[in-house]
Amino acid sequence: MPDSPTAPPTPPVPLAELLAREELGLRRIAGPRDANLLWVHTSEMADPYPYLLGGELLLSAGVLLKDPDTYVARLVEAGAAALGFGVAPVHDTVPRALVEACDRHGLPLLEVPPETPFTTIARAVWRLMAEARHRELRRVTRAQQALASAAARPDPVPAVLHQLAVQLAGRAALLTAEGEELHASGRRPAPGAQEALARLSRVVSPAARPDPAPASATDTVGGTQLSAYPLGGGQGLVLALSAGRREQGDHTVAGIAVVLLSLLTAPHQGADAAGRAAALVRMLLGAAPADVTPLLGAADHWTVVHARRPGGAPADPLTAGALGTALGSALVDADRHAVRVLVTDADRITPQPGWTLGASAPAPVTALAAADAQAARALSRAEATRTPLSVHRPPTGLTELVPRDRAEAHARALLAPLTEPLTETLRCWLSLHGSWDRTAVALQVHRNTVRQRIARCAALLEADLDDMDVRTELWFALGHR
Whether 398 shows a pLDDT value over 70: the answer reads no
Please name every residue paired with 219 in a beta bridge, in sequence order, or none if there are none.
Answer: 226
CA–CA dist 291, 282 (Å, integer): 9
Whether 266 shows a pLDDT value over 90: the answer reads no
Specify the pLDDT at position 294.
Answer: 66
Specify the pLDDT at position 313.
Answer: 74
pLDDT-derived band of residue 6, with 50, 70 and 90 as boundaries? very low
Report in angstroms the alpha-carbon separations of 114 from 88, 92, 426: 6, 9, 96
- Among 164-178, 192-206, 227-241, 283-297, the minimum mean pLDDT is found in 283-297
Q: Which of 157, 147, 148, 144 is nearest to 261 (CA)?
A: 157
Summarised one tens digit per residue, pLDDT across range 51-90 is 898 999 999 999 999 999 999 999 999 999 999 999 988 8
Q: Which of 97, 40, 55 is nearest to 72 (CA)?
A: 97
What DSSP state is assigned to residue 271? Answer: T
Please name every residue paired with 225 in a beta bridge, in sequence order, or none if there are none.
Answer: 220, 243
Whether 100 shows a pLDDT value over 90: the answer reads yes
User: Do residues 441 and 428 touch, judged by C-beta distance below 8 A?
Assistant: no
pLDDT-derived band of residue 200, with 50, 70 and 90 as boundaries? confident
Identify the helix (H) or strand (E) that includes residue 280. Answer: helix 273-284
Q: Which of 43, 52, 110 is nearest to 76 (CA)?
A: 52
pLDDT-derived band of residue 249, with 50, 70 and 90 as boundaries? confident
Specify the pLDDT at position 283.
Answer: 63
Specify the pLDDT at position 108.
Answer: 96
Find the mean pLDDT for residues 320-327: 81
Q: Which of 280, 242, 241 is nearest to 258 (CA)?
A: 241
Specify the pLDDT at position 109.
Answer: 96
Specify the pLDDT at position 4.
Answer: 39
Whether 395 shows a pLDDT value over 70: the answer reads no
For the chain, give the mean pLDDT.
83
Alpha-carbon torsion angle 358, 363, 367, 372, nearest 10: 10
What DSSP state is assigned to residue 228? Answer: E
Find the mean pLDDT for residues 102-109: 96
Instruction: Look at strands 224-230 and 39-42 and give their pairing.
Output: unpaired
- Among 197-206, 217-226, 259-268, the minimum mean pLDDT is found in 259-268
Helix (H, G, I), strand (E, B) or coil at 462: coil
Alpha-carbon torsion angle 464, 467, 469, 473, nearest 10: 40
CA–CA dist 261, 155 (Å, integer): 12
Q: Which of 38, 30, 37 is nearest to 16 (CA)?
A: 37
CA–CA dist 194, 198 (Å, integer): 6
Specify the pLDDT at position 1.
Answer: 39
User: Do residues 477 and 466 touch, judged by C-beta distance below 8 A?
Assistant: no
pLDDT-derived band of residue 94, with 50, 70 and 90 as boundaries? very high
Q: Which residues contact 396 (CB under 8 A, 6 or more apart)?
A: none
User: Do residues 278 and 295 touch, judged by C-beta distance below 8 A?
Assistant: yes
Summarised one tens digit per residue, pLDDT across range 15-37 is 999 999 999 999 999 999 899 99
Helix extents (H) in 153-242: 156-168, 191-204
Find the mean pLDDT for residues 198-219: 75
Sign of the torsion angle spanned by Cα atoms 170, 257, 322, 293: positive
CA–CA dist 481, 475 (Å, integer): 10
When mean pLDDT is compared over 91-100, 183-192, 333-342, 442-451, the highest value belongs to 91-100
Exposure of 105 by Cβ count < 10 A (0-12 exposed, 13-18 middle, 19+ buried)?
middle
Interaxial angle between packed helices 420-431 and 468-479, expressed in degrees from 0 to 180 and rounded to the nearest 10: 120
Instruction: Look at strands 238-243 and 224-230 and give their pairing.
Output: antiparallel
Find the mean pLDDT for residues 331-340: 82
Summarised one tens digit per residue, pLDDT across range 108-147 is 999 999 999 999 999 999 999 888 888 888 888 898 889 8
Whether 213 shows a pLDDT value over 80: the answer reads no
CA–CA dist 313, 299 (Å, integer): 32
Interaxial angle between packed helices 250-265 and 118-151, expressed in degrees from 0 to 180 and rounded to the nearest 10: 20
pLDDT-derived band of residue 2, with 50, 70 and 90 as boundaries? very low
Specify the pLDDT at position 381.
Answer: 83
CB atoms under 10 Å from CB of 136, counted, come to 17
Sheet with 27-30, side-by-side order of all strands: 27-30, 109-112, 82-86, 56-60, 39-42
Whether 271 shows a pLDDT value over 70: the answer reads no
CA–CA dist 52, 40 (Å, integer): 10
CA–CA dist 386, 408 (Å, integer): 32
Whether 450 shows a pLDDT value over 60: the answer reads yes
Interaxial angle between packed helices 317-326 and 250-265, expressed in degrees from 0 to 180 and rounded to the nearest 10: 80
Q: Which of 347, 351, 381, 377 is nearest to 362 (CA)?
A: 347
Report in angstroms the alpha-carbon separations of 55 from 81, 83, 110, 271, 294: 5, 11, 15, 50, 65
Whether 185 shows a pLDDT value over 50: the answer reads yes
Specify the pLDDT at position 297.
Answer: 56
Summarised one tens digit per residue, pLDDT across range 399-439 is 555 566 676 777 788 888 888 888 888 888 888 888 888 88
